[in-house]
Structures are given as C-alpha cells and as structure tokens.
Amino acid sequence: MLLEADDLNVRYGRNHAVRHVSLSVDEGEIVTVLGANGAGKSSLLKALQGTAGATADALRFRGQDISSRSAQKRVRSGLVMVPEGRQIFVSLTVHDNLLMGAYCRRDSDVAKDIEGVYERFPNLAQRRTMPASVLSGGEQQMLAISRALLARPVLMMLDEPSLGLSPILVNQLFELIVALNRDGLSILLVEQNTHKALQTASRGYVLELGRVVAEGTPDQLRAGEKLEAAYLGAG
C-alpha cells in the first residue's frame, strides 16, 4: 500500500469532522472520495497532508509512519496536495509559481521539468513571465497541478479540482488526471462531480457526516444506494 490511514479522526473543537475513517491508496491507483458539502472530504485531505490536526491508529505513506511528520516533510517525501480553489501565488509570475513547486528540490532537473510543463501546457509557456492573476480559471488549475508536479509527487491529492470550471475544461482536466496516472502517478481525488470521478477512478469512498458509508469499485458504488443518499442527505 502506498498510503494507508487507519481510524483517522479530525476534530475542530467539539466538531468531529472526520470520524474513524480508514482509507488506502495503492500504487498506480486513482482513488476518489465522494460526498456532499460538509461531509469532511477537505478535512480528510488536510489531515493526510498534515495541515489539519488529526489522530489516527496508523498513518503510513510508502511504508513509513508519517503521523508525526510536518506537512513540509510529507511534501518532500512525495505526498503533494493541489488545494481547493487552486491557491496559486497570484502576484508571482507563472514561472515563479512553478519554481515554488520545486522549492524543496536540490537536484538539477528543475529547469528540465519546467520545460516539460511548458510543453504540456503551451498556454502557460506563453504567459510564463506574466503574473498568475492574468490566467483564466482553467489555466490556473493547470498551473496549480503543474506546481504540484514540480514537487515530484508520488501521490497527488486533488481537492475538488473541477470546481468552477466549464464542462469542456472539466473533461480536459480529467483527461490530464488519467494521463498523469498513466505516467505512474497515484492519485487521491476529492470531487463533487461524482459522474466524472467514478468514470476515472478505480476505487472510491463515500463520506457522509465524516464517516465512510460506502466503499468499493465505481460499479459497486453506482449500484448501491449510499451514494445517492449521501448527496440527498437521507442516510
């Protein structure tokens, strides 16, 4: 197992946002976490990244216990998040945003990897010296993903990447996710777009009020009633 969390809990004061969640991602997998607003999806990702306080029976990444590691160290070991709402550095140039992704790296391949990003996204190449604030929503999402790629992730966690994108861009985004996965990147995808997420993922979890109420292959999840119930708030 690449990532394994056992009985993970996140509490904000008296609010128990993530309750006893056990989840795993295997190497080469695309795993999706589905659920309505407030189901605890983002809190779960933040806990895995280390930016939200969490308790867990076990939290292992690449076979090592990471529960006491800082978020920075988790990034360095290859666990990289693309945060919700993209959160690119708006006044920095596109190029500097990419450099920030590689901030921890000491190797000499950074320039080569950035060129790789520019080849994949000609739009970013064209605006490399412009502040990132001039980019469109879709381009900003590409930049956020590229920035994460430059940190050399082994597992990339995406928090609602399709939020606010047009249908065409959503399709492009999911094509990109599949392409990255084919290149060997494992992916943990939190999404509201259930349809696209289940098309792309090999396994999924359904969260409801912080609990895992269903898990399995996309077919199993589609067949079960938990998925619909989780969104409609029946339960």
- Catalog residues that contact another protein under the rule CB under 8 A: 49, 51, 71-72, 75-76, 81, 83, 87, 89-93, 96, 99-101, 103-104, 125-131, 134, 147, 151
Closer to another protein by Cβ: residue 158 or 197: 158
Distance in Å, CB of 125 to another protein, minimum = 7
* Token duo for residue 184: 């060997």
Structure tokens at 66: 């990471």
The phi-psi region of residue 174 (left if phi > 0; otherwise alpha if psi is between -120 and 50; otherwise beta) is alpha
State the minimum distance, in angstroms, from the CB of residue 86 to another protein: 10
Q: Cβ closer to another protein: 87 or 171?
A: 87
**How many residues are recorded in the chain?**
235
Radius of gyration of the chain from its Cα atoms, rounded to whole angstroms:
17
CB 18 within 8 A of CB 8: yes
Of 47 and 81, which CB lies nearer to another protein in the complex structure? 81
- Minimum CB separation from another protein for residue 210, in Å? 23
Nearer to another protein, 72 or 166 (CB): 72
Q: Which residues of 123-152 are buried (b: 16+ CB within 10 A; e: fewer)?
A: ebeebeeeebeebeebbbbbbbbbbbbbbb
Identify the sign of the CA torsion 159, 165, 170, 173: negative
Residue 66 vs 206, nearer CB to another protein = 66
CB of 55 to another protein, least distance (A): 21
How many angstroms separate the CA atoms of 201 and 37, rounded?
20
User: Minimum distance between the CB of residue 140 and another protein, rounded to whole angstroms?
Assistant: 13
- Which two tokens mark 97? 């945003």
**Scanning the structure block, which residue is given the tokens 């990339």?**
156
